[in-house]
Amino acid sequence: MLSGRLWRHPDFLKLWAGETVSQFGSQVTLLAVPTVAILILHAGPFQVGVLSALEFLAFPTLGLIAGVYADRLRRRPIMISCDLGRLLALGTIPVAFAFGVLTLEQLYVVALLTGIFTVFFDVSYQSYLPALVDRPNLIEDNSKLEVTRSAAQVSGPAVAGLLIQWIGGARAVAIDAISFLASAIALATIRKPEPEPQPGTASGASGFIPEMREGIDVVFKSPILWRIASCTGTTNFGSNMIFGAVFLVFAYRDLHLSAGVVGIIFGISSIGGLVGAFLASWAARTLGLGTTLGVAIVVGGFAELATPLALIGAPVIVLSTLGLIANVTIPVYNINQVSLRQSITPDRVQGRMNATMRTIVWGTIPLGAFFGGILGTAIGVVNTILLGGAISALAAIWIFLGPVGRLKEQPAPVLA
């Protein structure tokens, strides 16, 4: 992790640096936007759920389209354009607040726009990595990027909470907007030529629909890929019933915590993500790849299920501990499953494969947030948390009852 060939790969280091700045900035928005909605615009569980759902709505609606373009066009220019788009969209929030015209409807529009840019960026990003670094280095590549994400989650929320209390949530969003500019500049300085796109299908057919269908077939005709998609989609649905809709309502209104304290809880919890990023490859070697994936899902789900224990007492300690445990499992699962997907898929269909996977696994995020908001109002916040945690843990069935659970190690990479 701290060593490896990629330390001597200048273009990867540029990508890594840009992503590091962007990840730290995004942690501010992750807390600031719903905090503005709840504490300034007086949003309830349903409205917070809608806000979260709109941010991820582009994945089920535009994900497959993004995949076709990520294989038809060069991926780095797409990523740069999306960074600049997110800069402009998020920048409207502090401007509107300064003029006293910020509304919940504007937050909805910004969430929708940033989601659209994010789906095109993420599909292109995951498809670009195998072209930037050699495929045998994908575990190291994804591990280093996951360390960045986890490190941002450790310090970012605490800093975000303090920033929100110091300058206000709307102004704090400007930090994230600027971070996307830094990411775009870093991407623009990469020198390694990107391979020529290879539009069309393996059979020689061309056209938008045949190309999209080929990407879908790559996933659903692979017993490994469709089970990973099902597992990740299910656990994302359950988790976002909680964190996409009711968790902050639970923290602010049921536990009476401040934004600063919530930021500290998120920061402490996210230490687990940093630990998990370092443990990911070791866990797969020790337990076997399939077992590692399944166990990570189960442990993470049960940690979410236990969240209401914070009502008994010591909420900061309880939420921080449970969050830390859950966050260890996220990179352990993600590093191994993303590397597996990238390794077994030919480069010419990476975009469409990743788009199909993202359409499924992120497409359940707005659904989870939307239903979490409805259930939070109908059956209460605590019952919604319990139901979401149970669904998240049961997602491991997709891993254990199929060929993924029997995998001992990463398969040999497909080089074509």
Give the residue extent of every domain in the chain: 5-192+207-406
162-217, pLDDT tens digit by residue? Answer: 777 777 777 778 877 888 898 899 889 888 887 777 665 666 666 778 888 888 88
Query: C-alpha dihedral over 187, 13, 124, 23, to 10 degrees?
Result: -90
What is the pLDDT at residue 148? Answer: 72
- Alpha-helical segments (H) within 197-314: 208-220, 225-241, 247-249, 259-269, 271-287, 289-305
Instruction: Give the end-to-end CA distance of the chain in Å, rounded to a whole number.
Output: 27
Find the Cα–Cα–Cα–Cα dihedral 333, 336, 340, 343, rounded to 10°. 140
Tokens representing 28? 């501010």
For range 324-335, the mean pLDDT: 92
Q: Label residue 65 by pLDDT band (50, 70, 90).
A: confident
Residue 363 has pLDDT above 90, yes or no: no
Flag whether pLDDT at 134 surpasses 70: no
Does the structure show a pLDDT above 70 at 30? yes
Task: Name which of 27-31, 79-83, 92-96, 180-184 the model is least confident about.
Answer: 27-31
- What is the per-residue pLDDT for 51? 85
pLDDT tens readout for residues 259-302: 778 878 887 887 888 888 888 889 988 999 999 999 999 999 99
Quick one: tokens of 351? 């975009």
The CATH superfamily assigned to 5-192+207-406 is: MFS general substrate transporter like domains (1.20.1250.20)
Residues in the chain, how many?
416
3 state SS of 134: coil
Contact 171, 97 (CB under 8 A): yes
Give 307's pLDDT tier (boundaries 50, 70, 90): very high
Do the beta carbons of residue 326 and residue 300 sit within 8 Å?
yes
State mean pLDDT over 132-146.
66
| Average pLDDT estimate for 225-240 | 94
- The predicted model gives 124-143 an average pLDDT of 70
**Dist. CA 350–CA 198, nearest whole Å:** 11
CA distance 413 to 416: 9
Closest by CA position to 331, among listed 183, 176, 186, 154: 154
Count of alpha carbons within 13 angstroms of residue 263, beta-carbon side = 25
Contact status, residue 298 vs residue 349, Cβ threshold 8 Å: no
Question: For residue 193, how many other CB atoms are within 10 A of its CB?
Answer: 9
The listed range with the strongest mean pLDDT (49-53, 233-237, 276-280) is 233-237
Q: Tens digits of per-residue pLDDT, 6-29?
A: 566 777 778 777 777 777 777 777
* Separation of alpha carbons 29 and 92, rounded Å: 13
pLDDT at 155: 64
Reported as a single tens digit per residue, the pLDDT across 96-119 is 988 888 888 999 999 899 889 888
Inter-axis angle of helices 289-305 and 271-287, to 10 degrees? 140
Residue 139, pLDDT score: 64
* pLDDT of the residue at 306: 95
411 or 116, greater pLDDT:
116
Task: Select from 245, 256, 252, 266 the least CA-distant residue to 384.
Answer: 245
Statement: residue 60 has pLDDT above 60: yes
Q: What distance in Å separates the CA atoms of residue 164 and residue 358, rounded to the nearest whole number?
A: 31
Average pLDDT over residues 25-40: 76
Is the confidence at residue 145, as pLDDT, over 90?
A: no
Contact of 79 with 187, CB cutoff 8 Å: yes
